Amino acid sequence: MEAEPGHAVKKTWVDTKIKSSREAFLEGLTTGLKNPIGKERRLIISLVGSEEGFVDGGLLIFKSKKKTEDYHDEMNSDHFEEWLRDSVVKAELLEIVNKEKHNYQQLAVDKLAAEHGVTILRLPPYQCELNPIELVWAQVKGHVARNNKTFKMTEVKQLFEEGLQLVTPQR
């Protein structure tokens, strides 16, 4: 998932006497807040969760190094492997994986994940409707959008973390 400083809900007061943006401009009125647009730095976010909720220590969040619309080249195997190595939950997950890993054929990423106590769930490509994390991202990004007032990265990160706290297994 990614989040950018300009992520906000678009809403303005409406004057029913004004019929166009041009008329508002000529009257000296605003046409609403202008969110920052274009290629910006973003927050890159990955999170471990299950039916019982989020896993403690399972959050990876970092600021992109490039100003780009496509963040996918930054969420790469290097970041993923570093996150697995630093995961707080690795001892618990490693115990579970070690008990079951002999039942599965392993790829290189599976072996690395097992060493760090993580099980990888593979979903069909381009089938986001099968991925429950998409519902979580929708809730969290909605919280950010509704509450983003300054469009600054520090506030977006804080709002993202607040939004995570609002997600429960029931929601």
Q: Report the percentage of the chain scoring pLDDT > 90.
A: 18
95 located within any domain: yes
44 located within any domain: yes
For residue 2, pLDDT over 60 is answered with: no
How far apart, in whole angstroms, are the C-alpha atoms of residue 17 and residue 30?
14
| Closest by Cα among 85, 3, 86, 87 to 44 | 3
141 located within any domain: yes
- Give the per-residue pLDDT at 157: 93
- Give the per-residue pLDDT at 162: 95
Judge whether 40 and 4 are in contact, CB under 8 Å. Answer: yes
- Give the per-residue pLDDT at 107: 80
DSSP 8-state code for residue 69: S
For the entire predicted model, the pTM comes to 0.45
- Give the per-residue pLDDT at 3: 61
Assigned token pair, 23: 């008329």
For residue 37, pLDDT over 70 is answered with: no
Tell me, what amino acid is at 86? D
Host domain of residue 106: 2-166
- Give the per-residue pLDDT at 103: 75
Which of residues 105 and 27 earns the better pLDDT score? 27
Rg (CA), the chain: 21
How would residue 148 be classed by pLDDT, with cut points 50, 70 and 90? Answer: very high
How would residue 156 be classed by pLDDT, with cut points 50, 70 and 90? Answer: very high
Mean pLDDT of 47-67: 78
171 located within any domain: no
131 located within any domain: yes
How far apart, in whole angstroms, are the C-alpha atoms of residue 99 and residue 135?
31
- What tens digit of pLDDT does each residue of 89-133 get? 666 677 777 777 777 666 888 888 889 998 888 888 778 788 888
108 located within any domain: yes
- CB-CB neighbours of 156 under 10 Å: 23
Give the position of tokens 């993580």. 118
Q: Give the total number of structural domains in the chain.
A: 1
- What tens digit of pLDDT does each residue of 43-53 get? 888 887 777 78
Long-range contacts of 142-149 (CB under 8 A, 24+ apart): 144/3, 144/7, 144/8, 145/7, 145/8, 145/9, 146/8, 146/9, 148/5, 148/6, 148/7, 148/8, 148/9
98 located within any domain: yes
- Give the per-residue pLDDT at 159: 95
